[in-house]
């Protein structure tokens, strides 16, 4: 039984599957998408950060630059000594049983709302053994489970995790491989192949398409995406997720390049027309996951 | 809204609250002529008759439901027999920046000339403060507790269905039968009962006289009315007022007017806190609604217009003004009249119906301060009804609030009520539980839990007033263990509860003997059968509630003390107390650690929550079941109104990092900003309290609008409510506003006059709140996502 590196446990999530959910964000991702909402979750190492908004400059850890995560240099003792909680770990090691015990605290809310637990990231498949174990434990408890994945991982790992998820949320970003490499730093060949295989075996599959202006929102990509999804069996619905500049500030805070600086969210009219195009192909489509 | 109701609503919103001297003048003149000639109940009933017979009537242009407590909308009478305002009080009311009441110089002149000279020393409040023991006054001055009944009568009651099935002539027949059955040879109380029953009969006459005068007024107006349509309406109003309240209502219009006459009667005879409420209005109106639709005499639209007229009447009635500490504990125009929706029927079936939906639509459209509204959500309440309510709530008016009808029944069964009476009961005021139409459930005052812990850290001494108001629990340096500290805390709670109850016995007896509420006794079971007044134990059930405030602050303080002093040994308790007494001067780092690095209630953190349940259990044992003077018992409630601000003002800094004078936590909500794991964690923490043992708990949650958009937002809120109620949570209310909007409203009130927020058990206009309360509401955690 290995441990997992968890970036955040978000209770009362309403948009990562049905009902009231707890979303477990795993730390570490093989992709580096320009529009990532959680850039601090990309690195697969535990990190430390000193938050400007909380720091009272007590002088204990001034060698840690403000708002810029570092991998080493401080430890748990320093975190405990910080009076305001400004110095904190980004990513916590936990074992699957402890994590499951924690998320089961909201069981009543899952049961009354038809909700459950979603594993997201980062990329859960990057810690597939841990995530699969946690999913299995939750299913044994009768809790509805969901896996939110970019699909970039070995097929056996994906199949094994997906078998223990009542629902899979599968991200589909760009159909053209050259453009996919440029936007995410990785080829989409594995992602598309995995999705084809998954669609053959999994009964509950939602495709999640980020709509990022200037990156993938052009007609050519969206039509190719709709055509690809249409060719799959077993897709319940498509969520068009509008790009939100919230990630920008986090990129800045994480000391990372902000590749999309100044990009506005897609206009509502554009989303509506894209949704119409998907629906015209017979796909149940939402905007922002709000059914 | 129709053009008529839109206009009536606007007139009501625009009317300026003012003080009317008329009631004081009529009452004082009556007392001068009759004091000493009659028994207390008969004197009260006769003075009530004089008021109904002589007060100036009001019939607004276009009104369909008629009757005002004052001479015009928002003109509030005074009750000098309870509390006689001084000329200075009246000037303060006229000039204070918040919840101002306009006072005409002629009223101050009347008070100076007639009212004050007669009532000074005679008012109930003057007698009360003469007789209350010094230790009560010291504890009161120190802010250990407040007392509702020092300025307003015991109220807090709600009508059940009997006034829709019976008229006052029917009640008079019951009263006469009860009098005829008195055994003057065998029952030593027979004479007292006779006086009480005769007084009740006079009270019925008074209300019938009041209605008759309205009928005469409407007939006179009809005779002069040029517009044919309005003339017909005036004749209809006259016909309604000739029929009710003397006889049982026959249609929807008469049913509403019947309630309204009863309402005015209750709030004119005495100024009970809270007002008076219709209870399960949807259930009471359903037969009239259905019969009207079937007969073709009523449509959904005409019913809706009548209800809208009815709503405006509530909004025309701001609370009788309070002064001093009591104004601080509840500084608001709202008089806490509330309408219950859905819930259960007497036989246990779901009580929601088509009038429920109609009322929800009206609440949504009118969004007035009064009446407030709540939905009693049971397991049987259809999801569609709850979601309908959540869509209204989501707009951010703060109402309707939501109650757990199944828990409310269970709470009442624990108090020994019958199952049927419990189901017919519900919640009123903020969150208080009662058996509607059968119970006097009296709020006696807020109890400052944070002050109790402060006293435990100071050997019972109150630093601010320089007096010993608590028990001698010793120098805290001698508390060798956390259990020693907790024992001192418990000793302070028990000591001050005793002081409070000793004073309260006097207060209750003063009302029982000097201020019977004769009309309320007519419509509250079993006052007629017992020949005993509502204020003297005549009701079938008699609970007296103490409302504890600040359990979040106390839990977080205990948690910090336990961990830092007794587990980690960071600093000795005596040193900690010195730092608190200095308001953390020079110890900001410690304060930050307390704020950010200790276990806090509201995060589903068992370390902190265990201290909350321990505190609650101790408090419950100290209060629950103690006998009151009316054959009932004391019960515990967990609600603050606005008292958490006042209680914070009188407290030193606390061990949770709260600075001196800052508000303490409200209701059972976590300390403002201390909850960091979202709404489900707050509800989990709150549900660890045994709500069933209380007479009501109040949980306030605030959401940024974005979080609860769309169907997913409604479904999410629905899941929250259902799960919290499954865990036996008693009540929850949601604020859906952004903190930025509130900040903007605070800076620029003129542009946001209409902004309503949920304060604590009720909604209020944000711009009418004190600055401290505005800041506190802004600070309450916004449960936004990233």
Q: With beta carbons less than 8 A apart as the criterion, state whether B292 and B298 touch.
A: yes
Interface residues from chain B to A (CB-CB < 8 Å) = 588-590, 592-593, 595-597, 604, 677-681, 683-684, 707, 709-713, 715-716, 718-720, 722-723, 726-727, 783, 785-786
pLDDT at B702 (0 to 100): 76
**Cβ contacts of B142 within 8 Å, gap of 6 or more:** B451, B462, B464, B465, B467, B469, B650
Q: Which residue of A has its CA nearest to B710?
A: A290
Q: Spell out the SS3 assignment of A136-202.
A: HHHHHCCCEEEEEECCCCCHHHHHHHHHCCCEEEEECCCCCHHHHHHHHCCCCHHHHHHHHHHHHHC
Instruction: State mean pLDDT over B54-79.
Output: 97
- Which residue is associated with the tokens 């950010």? B596
Q: With beta carbons less than 8 A apart as the criterion, state whether B519 and B203 touch.
A: yes
Percent of chain B's residues with pLDDT above 90:
83
B703 confidence band (pLDDT: 50, 70, 90): confident
Answer with the one of A63, A90, A117 that is the final residue of a domain. A90
- Catalytic residue status for B430: yes
Judgement on whether residues A83 and A14 belong to the same structural domain of the protein = no
Q: What residues pair up with B131 in beta bridges, in sequence order?
A: none
Answer with the one of A90, A113, A147 that is the final residue of a domain. A90
pLDDT at B783 (0 to 100): 46
Judgement on whether residues A9 and A72 belong to the same structural domain of the protein = no
Q: Which of these is catalytic: B204, B430, B527, B651?
A: B430
Q: Spell out the SS3 assignment of B313-381.
A: HHHCCCCCCCCHHHHHHCCCCCCCCEEEEECECCCCCECCCHHHHHHHHHHHHHCCCCCEEEEEECCCC
Q: Is A84 touching B (CB cutoff 8 A)?
A: yes
Round to whole Å and give the CA distance between B718 and B312. Answer: 30
Judgement on whether residues A52 and A133 belong to the same structural domain of the protein = no
Judgement on whether residues A98 and A84 belong to the same structural domain of the protein = no
Among the partner residues A11, A54, A246, nearest to B680 by beta-carbon distance: A11
Q: Is A246 touching B (CB cutoff 8 A)?
A: yes
| Interchain contact, B593 vs A83, CB within 8 Å | yes
* pLDDT tens-digit series, residues B410-422: 999 999 999 999 9
Answer with the one of A90, A116, A145 that is the final residue of a domain. A90
Q: Is A83 touching B (CB cutoff 8 A)?
A: yes
Q: Residues of A numbered 47-76 whose beta carbons fall under 8 angstroms of chain B's beta carbons: which are they?
A: 54, 56, 58
pLDDT at B762 (0 to 100): 52
Q: Which residue of B has its CA nearest to A59?
A: B589
Q: Cα distance from B340 to chain A (closest Cα, Å)? A: 24
Percent of chain A's residues with pLDDT above 70:
93
Between B406 and B156, name the one with better pLDDT.
B406
B780 confidence band (pLDDT: 50, 70, 90): low
Judgement on whether residues A73 and A156 belong to the same structural domain of the protein = no
pTM above 0.80, yes or no: yes
The burial of A203, by beta-carbon neighbours within 10 Å (0-12 exposed, 13-18 middle, 19 or more buried), is given as exposed
- Catalytic residue status for B432: yes
For the four alpha carbons of B52, B58, B62 and B63, in that order, the dihedral sign comes to negative
Measured between beta carbons, which residues in chain B are less than 8 angstroms from residue A109?
680, 683, 719-720, 723
Q: With beta carbons less than 8 A apart as the criterion, state whether B515 and B412 touch.
A: no
What DSSP line would sit under B3-55, residue for residue? HHHHHHHHHHHHSPPEEE-HHHHHHHHHHHHHTTSS-HHHHHHHHHHHHHHHS
* pLDDT tens-digit series, residues B451-495: 999 999 999 999 999 999 999 999 999 999 999 999 999 999 999
Q: Spelled out in words, what is the top-level CATH class assigned to the domain B133-155+437-693? A: alpha beta
Instruction: State mean pLDDT over B47-62.
Output: 98
| Interchain contact, B783 vs A12, CB within 8 Å | yes
Q: Which of these is catalytic: B22, B432, B439, B508?
A: B432
| Average pLDDT over chain B, rounded to an integer | 93
pLDDT at B558 (0 to 100): 98
ipTM of the complex: 0.94
Measured between beta carbons, which residues in chain B are less than 8 angstroms from residue A83?
589-590, 592-593, 596-597
The DSSP letter of residue B638 is B
Walk along chain A (291 residues) in steps of 10 and give the mean pLDDT of each run. 87 90 95 83 87 84 77 77 90 95 98 97 95 98 97 97 97 96 95 97 93 93 96 91 69 64 83 94 87 58
* pLDDT tens-digit series, residues B82-137: 999 999 999 989 988 888 999 999 999 999 999 999 999 999 999 999 999 999 99
Number of CB pairs < 8 Å for A and B?
85
Judgement on whether residues A68 and A170 belong to the same structural domain of the protein = no
Best residue of A25, A60, A83 to probe chain B, by most B CBs closer than 10 Å = A83
Judgement on whether residues A10 and A64 belong to the same structural domain of the protein = no
B188 confidence band (pLDDT: 50, 70, 90): very high
pLDDT at B759 (0 to 100): 59
Domain range for A254: 3-45+94-287
Q: Is A15 touching B (CB cutoff 8 A)?
A: yes
| Interchain contact, B712 vs A58, CB within 8 Å | no
Q: Are strands B461-462 and B467-468 parallel, antiparallel or unpaired?
A: antiparallel
Every domain of chain B and the residues it spans: 1-77+160-269, 133-155+437-693, 280-316+337-428+699-786
Between A224-233, B487-496, B650-659, B761-770, the lowest mean confidence (pLDDT) is in B761-770
Judgement on whether residues A134 and A267 belong to the same structural domain of the protein = yes
Q: Is A37 touching B (CB cutoff 8 A)?
A: yes
| Residue A184: both structure tokens together | 């995410």
Q: With beta carbons less than 8 A apart as the criterion, state whether A96 and A4 touch.
A: yes
Total count of domains within chain A: 2
B786 confidence band (pLDDT: 50, 70, 90): very low
* pLDDT tens-digit series, residues B374-391: 999 999 999 999 999 999
Q: B252-269 and B300-315 helices cross at what angle (nearest 10)?
A: 10
Judgement on whether residues A185 and A51 belong to the same structural domain of the protein = no
pLDDT at B519 (0 to 100): 98
Judgement on whether residues A141 and A52 belong to the same structural domain of the protein = no
Percent of chain B's residues with pLDDT above 70:
95
Between B282 and B272, name the one with better pLDDT.
B282
Four-CA torsion B183, B188, B189, B190, nearest 10 degrees: 20
- Which residue is associated with the tokens 């009520």? B417
Q: Cα distance from B496 to chain A (closest Cα, Å)? A: 36
Q: Is A265 touching B (CB cutoff 8 A)?
A: no
Between B268-282, B439-453, B574-588, B772-786, the lowest mean confidence (pLDDT) is in B772-786
pLDDT at B328 (0 to 100): 59
Three-state secondary-structure class, residue B546: strand
Instruction: State mean pLDDT over B604-629.
Output: 98
Among the partner residues A12, A82, A113, nearest to B718 by beta-carbon distance: A113
CATH number at residue A215: 3.20.20.70
Judgement on whether residues A86 and A108 belong to the same structural domain of the protein = no
Judgement on whether residues A135 and A70 belong to the same structural domain of the protein = no
pLDDT at B151 (0 to 100): 87
Cis bond upstream, residue B526 (ω within 30): yes
| Interchain contact, A114 vs B719, CB within 8 Å | yes
- Which residue is associated with the tokens 């109620």? B725
pLDDT score of B309 more than 50: yes
| Interchain contact, B716 vs A58, CB within 8 Å | no
């Amino acid at each position: 039984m290995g441990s997992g590196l968890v970036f955040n446990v978000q209770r009362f999530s309403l948009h990562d599957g049905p009902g009231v959910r707890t979303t477990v964000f795993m730390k570490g991702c093989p992709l580096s998408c320009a529009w990532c909402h959680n850039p601090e979750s990309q690195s697969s190492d535990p990190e430390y950060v000193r938050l400007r908004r909380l720091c009272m400059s007590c002088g204990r850890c001034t060698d840690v630059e403000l708002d810029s995560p570092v991998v080493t240099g401080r430890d748990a003792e320093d975190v405990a000594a910080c009076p305001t909680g400004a110095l904190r770990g980004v990513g916590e090691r936990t074992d699957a049983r402890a994590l499951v015990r924690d998320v089961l605290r909201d069981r009543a809310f899952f049961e009354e709302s038809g909700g459950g637990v979603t594993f997201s990231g980062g990329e859960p498949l990057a810690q597939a053994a841990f995530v699969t174990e946690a999913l299995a434990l939750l299913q044994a408890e009768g809790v509805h489970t969901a896996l939110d994945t970019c699909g970039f991982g070995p097929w056996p790992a994906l199949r094994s995790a997906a078998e223990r998820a009542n629902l899979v949320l599968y991200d589909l970003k760009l159909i053209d491989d050259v453009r996919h490499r440029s936007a995410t730093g990785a080829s989409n060949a594995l992602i598309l192949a995995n999705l084809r295989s998954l669609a053959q075996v999994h009964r509950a599959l939602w495709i999640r398409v980020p709509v990022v202006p200037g990156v993938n929102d052009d007609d050519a990509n969206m039509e190719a995406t709709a055509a690809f999804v249409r060719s799959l069996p077993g897709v319940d619905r498509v969520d068009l997720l509008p790009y939100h500049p919230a990630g920008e500030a986090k990129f800045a805070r994480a000391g990372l390049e902000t590749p999309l600086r100044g990009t506005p969210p897609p206009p509502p009219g554009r989303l509506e027309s894209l949704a119409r195009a998907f629906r015209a192909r017979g796909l149940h489509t939402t905007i922002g996951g709000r059914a | 809204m129709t053009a008529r109701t839109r206009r009536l609503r606007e007139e009501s919103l625009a009317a300026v609250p003012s003080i009317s001297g008329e009631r004081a003048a009529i009452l004082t003149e009556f007392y001068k002529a009759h004091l000493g000639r009659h028994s207390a109940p008969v004197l009260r009933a006769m003075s009530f008759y004089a008021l109904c017979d002589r007060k100036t009537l009001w019939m607004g242009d276009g009104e369909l439901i008629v009757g005002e407590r004052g001479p015009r909308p928002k003109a509030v009478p005074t009750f000098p027999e309870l509390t006689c305002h001084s000329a200075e009080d009246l000037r303060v009311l006229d000039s204070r920046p918040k919840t101002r009441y306009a006072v005409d110089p002629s009223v101050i002149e009347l008070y100076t000339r007639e009212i004050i000279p007669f009532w000074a020393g005679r008012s109930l409040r003057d007698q009360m403060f003469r007789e209350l023991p010094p230790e009560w006054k010291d504890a009161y001055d120190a802010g250990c507790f407040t007392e509702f009944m020092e300025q307003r009568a015991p109220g807090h009651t709600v009508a059940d269905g009997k006034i829709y099935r019976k008229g006052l002539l029917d009640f008079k027949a019951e009263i006469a039968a009860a009098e005829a059955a008195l055994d003057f040879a065998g029952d030593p109380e027979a004479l007292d009962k006779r006086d009480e029953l005769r007084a009740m009969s006079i009270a019925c006459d008074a209300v019938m006289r009041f209605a008759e005068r309205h009928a005469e007024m409407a007939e006179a107006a009809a005779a002069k009315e040029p517009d044919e349509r309005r003339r017909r309406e005036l004749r209809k109003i006259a016909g309604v007022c000739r029929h009710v309240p003397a006889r049982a209502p026959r249609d929807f219009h008469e049913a509403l007017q019947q309630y309204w006459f009863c309402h005015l009667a209750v709030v004119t005879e005495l100024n009970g806190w809270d007002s008076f409420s219709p209870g399960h209005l949807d259930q009471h109106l359903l037969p009239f609604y259905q019969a009207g639709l079937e007969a073709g005499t009523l449509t959904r639209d005409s019913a809706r217009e009548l209800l809208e007229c009815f709503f405006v009447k509530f909004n025309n009635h701001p609370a009788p003004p309070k002064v001093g500490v009591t104004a601080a504990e509840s500084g608001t125009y709202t008089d806490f009249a509330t309408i219950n929706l859905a819930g259960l029927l007497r036989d246990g079936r779901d009580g929601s119906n088509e009038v429920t939906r109609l009322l929800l639509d009206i609440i949504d459209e009118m969004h007035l301060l009064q009446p407030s509204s709540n939905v009693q959500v049971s397991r049987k309440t259809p999801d569609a009804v709850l979601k309908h309510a959540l869509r209204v709530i989501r707009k951010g008016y703060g109402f309707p609030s939501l109650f757990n009808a199944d828990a409310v029944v269970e709470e009442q069964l624990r108090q020994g009520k019958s199952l049927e009476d419990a189901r017919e009961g519900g919640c009123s005021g903020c969150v208080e539980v009662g058996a509607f139409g059968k119970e006097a459930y009296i709020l006696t005052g807020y109890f400052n839990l944070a002050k109790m812990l402060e006293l435990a850290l100071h050997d019972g001494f109150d630093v601010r007033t320089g007096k010993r108001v608590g028990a001698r629990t010793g120098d805290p340096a001698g508390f060798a263990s956390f259990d020693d500290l907790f024992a001192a805390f418990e000793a302070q709670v028990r000591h001050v509860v005793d002081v409070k109850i000793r004073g309260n016995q006097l207060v209750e007896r003063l009302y029982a003997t000097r201020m019977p509420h004769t009309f309320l006794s007519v419509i509250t079971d079993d006052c007629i059968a017992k020949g005993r007044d509502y204020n003297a134990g005549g009701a079938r059930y008699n609970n007296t509630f103490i409302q504890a405030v600040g359990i979040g602050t106390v839990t977080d303080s205990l948690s910090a003390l336990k961990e830092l002093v007794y587990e980690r040994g960071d600093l000795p308790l005596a040193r900690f107390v010195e730092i608190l007494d200095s308001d953390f001067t020079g110890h900001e780092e410690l304060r930050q650690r307390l704020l950010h690095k200790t276990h806090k209630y509201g995060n589903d953190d068992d370390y902190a929550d265990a201290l909350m349940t321990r505190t609650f259990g101790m408090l419950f044992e100290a209060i629950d079941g103690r006998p009151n003077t009316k054959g009932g018992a004391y019960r515990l409630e967990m609600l603050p109104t606005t008292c958490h601000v006042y209680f914070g003002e009188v407290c030193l800094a606390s061990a949770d990092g709260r600075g001196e004078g800052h508000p303490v936590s409200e209701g059972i909500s976590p300390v403002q900003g201390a909850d960091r794991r979202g709404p489900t964690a707050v509800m989990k923490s709150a549900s660890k309290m045994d709500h069933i043992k209380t007479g009501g708990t109040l949980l306030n949650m605030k959401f940024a609008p974005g979080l609860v958009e769309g169907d997913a937002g409604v479904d999410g809120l629905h899941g929250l409510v259902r799960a919290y109620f499954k865990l036996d949570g008693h009540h929850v209310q949601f604020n859906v506003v952004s903190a930025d909007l509130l900040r903007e409203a605070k800076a620029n009130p003129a542009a946001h006059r209409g902004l309503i927020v949920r304060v604590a058990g009720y909604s209020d206009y944000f711009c009418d709140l004190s600055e401290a309360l505005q800041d506190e509401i802004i600070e309450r955690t916004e449960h936004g996502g990233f």
